[in-house]
């Protein structure tokens, strides 16, 4: 069921999906019987913070069908005069299209040369041609998921839009459905179904939100397997009944839960990174080019 989000005046109107109230199974009882931790040198044990598989009751909620895009987040930063994500300053996305007429010509040539694909002979291009090409670059970046935002940034964007970050349980339920699937698309891993970065050029690994139609959960939510990992509301804490203890559990206001795989996993093309039950965690102030978010309400 698709619904139109209804944030306050001036906020983005996002396509949302409804998830019925009910009891859903989250977590897992998996163990590292393949010795992957030792084989790949992971610092933390695999799977144990997902224990145990258990049921949670949730109320009816809605969640964004897609990850929050650059274009959506740009409206927020322009409307609230917040600092733009560092990545935008580096790649020119911080430029306001209305100011293209007054930008330094040599700067435009350099930026267009660096980011236009295919490469152009920008030295022979006049201002109007450079403006047109630069607008294309900005428009292409509009549909990419926003990244390089902290947990606080994500939290405040959702509030501005009349929404909130999803809880950890809500995110997992939206990703795995009522049958608690291993991956958003089913129980069998298929790396072609999601944006893992495979086959994409270095430095250009992100895909527009919703660009991988097979990375779609039973509730119709996209990109919960890959593309970018996502902040959720919760502090990183053990599940009820867990027999695993992490020293990071003692930092509830610092470590926030991050969910979902991303396209920057590099040579670790391991299926475990794209599982719906996988729990990551990062300090609330952490920012990364592979970490974004979506909202709920």
Q: Per-residue pLDDT tens for 79-132?
A: 999 999 998 988 888 887 777 777 888 887 877 777 665 567 777 788 888 888
Classify residue 80: in a domain, yes or no: no
Residue 45 has pLDDT above 90, yes or no: yes
Q: Indicate whether 176 and 135 sit together in one domain.
A: no
Q: Indicate whether 134 and 278 sit together in one domain.
A: no
Residue 107 pLDDT: 80
| Comparison of pLDDT for 42 and 278, the residue scoring more | 278
Classify residue 65: in a domain, yes or no: yes
Residue 269 has pLDDT above 60, yes or no: yes
d(CA 166, CA 158): 10
Mean pLDDT of the chain: 89
Average pLDDT rounded to a whole number, residues 204-228:
96
Residue 4 has pLDDT above 50, yes or no: no
Classify residue 75: in a domain, yes or no: no
Q: Indicate whether 34 and 156 sit together in one domain.
A: yes
DSSP H or E run through 154: helix 151-160
d(CA 206, CA 67): 12
Q: Indicate whether 154 and 138 sit together in one domain.
A: no
d(CA 296, CA 62): 5
Q: Indicate whether 180 and 276 sit together in one domain.
A: yes
d(CA 159, CA 237): 24
Lowest mean pLDDT across 9-13, 85-89, 117-121, 278-282: 9-13
Q: Indicate whether 124 and 198 sit together in one domain.
A: no
Q: Token digits for 297?
A: 């309400």
d(CA 168, CA 279): 9
Domain-terminating residue out of 142, 160, 182: 142
Residue 12 pLDDT: 39
φ/ψ of residue 38, rounded to 5: -70, -40
Residue 182 has pLDDT above 70, yes or no: yes
Q: Indicate whether 213 and 102 sit together in one domain.
A: no
Classify residue 43: in a domain, yes or no: yes
Residue 280 belongs to domain spanning: 2-70+146-293
Domain-terminating residue out of 100, 116, 142: 142
Classify residue 79: in a domain, yes or no: no
Classify residue 77: in a domain, yes or no: no
Q: Indicate whether 205 and 228 sit together in one domain.
A: yes
Residue 51 has pLDDT above 90, yes or no: yes
Instruction: Provide the number of structural domains found in the chain.
Output: 2
Q: Which are the contacts of 180, defined by CB distance < 8 A and separation ≥ 6?
A: 24, 25, 26, 53, 276
Classify residue 76: in a domain, yes or no: no
Average pLDDT rounded to a whole number, residues 181-198:
94
Q: Indicate whether 101 and 181 sit together in one domain.
A: no
Residue 252 pLDDT: 63
pTM of the model: 0.90
Return the CATH number at 233: 3.90.1580.10
Q: Helix 105-115 and helix 127-142: axis angle, to 10°?
A: 50
Q: Indicate whether 135 and 225 sit together in one domain.
A: no
Q: Indicate whether 176 and 280 sit together in one domain.
A: yes
- Tokens 């996993």 -> residue: 265
Q: CA Rg, the chain, in Å? A: 20
Residue 133 pLDDT: 83
Q: Indicate whether 120 and 259 sit together in one domain.
A: no
d(CA 279, CA 258): 6
Q: Token digits for 142?
A: 């509009």
Residue 2 has pLDDT above 90, yes or no: no
């Amino acid at each position: 069921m698709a619904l139109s989000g209804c944030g306050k005046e001036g906020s983005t109107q996002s396509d949302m999906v409804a998830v019925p109230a009910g009891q859903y199974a989250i977590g897992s009882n998996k163990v590292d019987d393949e010795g992957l931790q030792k084989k790949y040198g992971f610092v933390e044990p695999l799977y144990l913070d997902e224990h145990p598989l258990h049921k949670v009751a949730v109320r009816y909620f809605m969640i964004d069908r897609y990850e929050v895009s650059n274009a959506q987040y740009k409206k927020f930063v322009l409307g609230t005069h917040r600092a733009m994500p560092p990545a935008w300053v580096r790649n020119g996305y911080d430029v306001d299209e209305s100011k293209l007429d007054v930008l330094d010509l040599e700067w435009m040539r350099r930026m267009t040369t660096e980011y236009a694909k295919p490469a152009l002979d920008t030295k022979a291009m006049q201002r109007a041609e450079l403006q047109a090409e630069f607008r294309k670059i900005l428009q292409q970046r509009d549909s990419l998921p926003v990244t390089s935002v902290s947990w606080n940034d994500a939290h405040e964007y959702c509030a501005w839009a009349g929404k909130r970050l999803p809880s950890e349980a809500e995110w997992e339920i939206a990703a795995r459905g009522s049958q608690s699937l291993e991956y958003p698309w089913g129980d069998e891993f298929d790396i072609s179904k999601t944006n893992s970065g495979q086959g994409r050029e270095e430095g250009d690994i992100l895909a527009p939100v919703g660009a991988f139609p097979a990375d779609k959960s039973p509730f119709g939510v996209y990109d919960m397997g890959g593309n970018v990992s996502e902040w959720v509301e919760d502090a990183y804490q053990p599940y009820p009944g867990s027999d695993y203890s992490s020293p990071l559990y003692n930092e509830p206001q610092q470590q926030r839960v991050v969910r979902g795989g991303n396209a920057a996993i590099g040579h670790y093309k391991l299926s475990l990174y794209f599982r719906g039950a996988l729990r990551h965690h990062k300090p609330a102030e952490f920012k990364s080019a592979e970490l974004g978010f979506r909202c709920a309400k």
